[in-house]
């Protein structure tokens, strides 16, 4: 039976993953798990209920609703940035790690070993976006670049639960995601590498057609209300959780 559960999603992606030898990729996968575990522990996030799965060049982490988005946005990102710098200072040059991070949240359909849901699709699209790749590439002294969805920004940053300073609004222009997103690079007042097209404001959606009044016999009027059709959302993305339900 499939059960819908609400999770905060942290999706990570290692920059320049594909060009590294398999043995190095394997060591970096292990290192990434340890870095994320330490960052969560230092931020005060308990491991219980945290799920994770590999996406090859990164991890998808699902945190239960009990973990506050404020803690993830501020404390976890701060400790992750610190843990990455420590790792990069100590690892061999060929294993230096820089991350793209996406934050989103929503209902995920829990089918045991198979997971699906729009929230997973959105988070993975955001972390793979061209604009985030470009920003991290331009931020040559940074170890991570963060993108948050419009839903996350409204719930956490716009609402004042976390500091919105240093975030720039962008239009990722992604399939199945027509909204805005916000990007931040820790240590930078503005994310570098943005193009004018990245920050252009999209035109507002068309307004519903105005009601029209049609003449009828004997002075009776009929109101014909206009209709508005929104965008369709593409199908679910399925993710297998290899570890059977625990982060480790």
Matching residue, tokens 């400790």 = 79
**What does the block give as tokens for 61?**
């982490």
Q: Of residues 195 and 247, which shows the higher confidence score?
A: 195
Question: Which class in CATH covers the domain with range 3-201+235-240?
Answer: alpha beta
Residue 54's DSSP bridge partners are 59
Quick check: helix, strand or coil at residue 76?
helix
Which DSSP letter does residue 73 get? I
Quick: pLDDT tens for 211-221: 433 333 333 33
pTM: 0.81
CB-based burial label for 177 (10 Å; 0-12, 13-18, 19+): buried
Q: Which residue has the higher pLDDT, 4 or 28?
A: 28
Q: 153-206 pLDDT, tens per residue?
A: 999 999 999 999 999 999 998 877 778 999 999 999 999 999 998 986 645 444
Which tokens belong to 50?
């945290």
pLDDT for 142-155, tens place per residue?
Answer: 999 999 999 999 99
Residue 186: closest CA among 112, 99, 122 = 99
- Identify the CA nearest to 117 among candidates 245, 8, 14, 231: 8
Residue 103 pLDDT more than 80? yes
Tokens describing residue 36? 């994320």
pLDDT greater at residue 146 or residue 56? 146
Check if the beta carbon of residue 120 is closer than 8 Å to that of residue 18. Answer: no
Contact yes or no for 2/115 (Cβ under 8 A): no
First to last CA, the chain: 25
Q: What ranges in the chain are assigned the alpha helix state H?
A: 22-43, 69-70, 77-90, 118-127, 130-138, 150-152, 196-199
């Amino acid at each position: 039976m499939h059960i819908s559960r609400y999770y905060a999603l942290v999706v990570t992606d290692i920059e320049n993953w594909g060009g590294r030898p398999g043995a190095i990729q394997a060591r970096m996968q292990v290192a990434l798990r340890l870095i994320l575990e330490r960052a969560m522990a230092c931020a005060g996030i308990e491991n219980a209920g945290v799920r994770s799965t590999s996406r090859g060049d990164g991890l998808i982490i699902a945190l239960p609703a009990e973990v506050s988005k404020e803690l993830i946005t501020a404390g976890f990102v701060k400790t992750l940035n610190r843990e990455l710098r420590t790792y990069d200072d100590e690892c061999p040059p060929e294993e230096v790690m820089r991350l793209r991070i996406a934050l989103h949240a929503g209902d995920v359909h829990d089918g045991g070993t198979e997971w699906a849901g729009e929230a997973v699709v959105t988070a993975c699209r955001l972390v793979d976006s061209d604009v985030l790749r470009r920003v991290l590439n331009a931020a040559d002294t940074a170890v991570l670049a963060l993108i948050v969805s419009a839903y996350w920004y409204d719930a956490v940053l716009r609402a004042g639960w976390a500091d919105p300073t240093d975030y720039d609004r962008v239009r990722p222009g992604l399939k199945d995601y027509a909204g805005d997103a916000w990007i931040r690079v820790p240590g930078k007042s503005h994310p570098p590498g943005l193009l004018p097209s990245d920050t252009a404001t999209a035109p507002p959606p068309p307004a519903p057609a105005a009601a029209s009044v049609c003449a009828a016999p004997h002075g009776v009027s009929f109101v014909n209300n206009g209709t508005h059709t929104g965008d369709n959302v593409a199908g679910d993305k399925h993710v297998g959780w290899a570890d059977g339900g625990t982060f480790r």
